[in-house]
Structure 1
Amino acid sequence: MSAFHIRAEQSRDISAIHDVTEAAFTGIEHSDGTEQDLVDKLRAAKALSLSLVAEADGEVIGHIAASEVLIGGGVQGWFGIGPVSVRPDKQQQGVGIALMGSALDQLRAEGAGGIVLLGDPGYYRRFGFEVVPGLVYPDAPAEFFMAVCLNAPAFPQGVVEYHSAFGG
């Protein structure tokens, strides 16, 4: 694979991000097929706290989004990652790892308390994510809801609320 680099989303990337996200989740068992629409809704609501793309040869080949979450009705400064998308023909080549690493670095530098996500524990543990008892995302299998502390002294407790775009 040719080299790729990670950069902030630009307005010219919006269509490509939509297409990459749709392609990345097509046929995935736990996907409802609306991840690309979620990114569009978060962007329209100005709720994308972080939106990075992986670019190779002038083409967007991957994307990662983060938006602020509220924990236990009051804890702020935490973010939810998702979706993370890599074009199917570029998967298993380090693109997703690079996107996640860049997102973690940027959110840490910006003072984020931590990050939550819903995903495969086998994949996300490498970044320090873990299941945290008492940190809950309703209607999701507990073993797939994980968090990592960045600047917070400890994990908060309570129900995690994502932006309303996640609800439909």
Structure 2
Amino acid sequence: MDRFTIRRETEADISVIREVTGKAFTGLSLRGYSEQAIVEALRDADALTLSLIAVDGPFVVGHVAASPVTISDGTQGWVSLGPVSVEPKFQGRGIGSALVSRALDQLRESGVGGVVALGEPEFYRKFGFTQGEELVHPGFPAENFFARPIRDSRMPTGEVSYHPAFRQAAKNA
């Protein structure tokens, strides 16, 4: 079994996070822009609520980011989780799951009301994320959009807008 640790990113990790994220999403894109561009735009905008890496020995093998979202019903304190990236040769070893679990724990401790995510249904459901008609992200398939209250007792209602850095990443793609 692999032994890896999870810690907050440092400035020295930025270039390798870009590399790991690029490799993890090779051939995939979110509406025409790259996940590494999203992370960089969020970092440049000082909009990373959380940025954790998984380290196996001297190697960064995974990364997860979180950033603020806006919800049309006025609910405050929610964030987006993602992208979640794992170096391809390390995928299937529980690193992505460990990153998400740690991120959710740290977000709970920081007082975040809830989390939204875009991704694979099987992956996000195992962390208590659900789909619902009451909270949507227009322009993306409903079957890939998930939400999970953390400290809030209810699910917000309305449309979710991601941080403007997502749009900036699209312009720079």
TM-score norm. by structure 1 comes to 0.95
Report the residue type matching 1:120 in the other structure: E
Gap runs ≥5 in structure 2: none
1:46-104 residue CA offsets vs partner (Å, 9 max, x unmatched): 00000000001111100000001010152210000110000000000010000000000
Q: What SS is found at the alignment partner of 1:76? A: coil
Residues 25 and 33, structure 1, Cα contact 8 Å, conserved in 2 = no
What residue number does 1:124 align with? 124
Q: What SS is found at the alignment partner of 2:107? A: helix
Give the paired residue count: 168
Q: What SS is found at the alignment partner of 2:105? A: helix
Report the residue type matching 1:130 in the other structure: T
What residue number does 2:66 align with? 66
> How many Å apart are 1:31 and its aligned residue?
6.9
TM-score norm. by structure 2 comes to 0.93
Separation in structure 1 between the aligned mates of residue 143 and residue 136 of structure 2, nearest angstrom: 11
What residue number does 2:113 align with? 113
Q: Structure 2 matches for 1:1-168, cutoff 5 A?
A: 2-28=2-28, 32=32, 34-72=34-72, 74-167=74-167, 168=170
Separation in structure 1 between the aligned mates of residue 125 and residue 2 of structure 2, nearest angstrom: 27
Separation in structure 2 between the aligned mates of residue 33 and residue 87 of structure 1, nearest angstrom: 19
Report the residue type matching 1:19 in the other structure: E
Report the residue type matching 1:35 in the other structure: E
Report the residue type matching 2:150 in the other structure: L
Separation in structure 2 between the aligned mates of residue 133 and residue 69 of structure 1, nearest angstrom: 18
Residues 2 and 57, structure 1, Cα contact 8 Å, conserved in 2 = no
> How many Å apart are 1:134 and its aligned residue?
1.4
> How many Å apart are 1:36 and its aligned residue?
0.4
Q: Aligned-residue CA RMSD in angstroms?
A: 1.4
Separation in structure 2 between the aligned mates of residue 149 and residue 132 of structure 1, nearest angstrom: 12
Gap runs ≥5 in structure 1: none
Larger RCO (alpha carbons 8 Å, 6+ apart): 2
Which structure 1 residue ranges, 4+ long, deviate > 6 Å from structure 2? none
1:2-58 residue CA offsets vs partner (Å, 9 max, x unmatched): 310000000000000000000000023767451101100100000000000000111
Residues 73 and 156, structure 2, Cα contact 8 Å, conserved in 1 = no
Identity of aligned residues (%): 49
1:18–1:102 CA distance, 2 compared to 1 (3 A): same
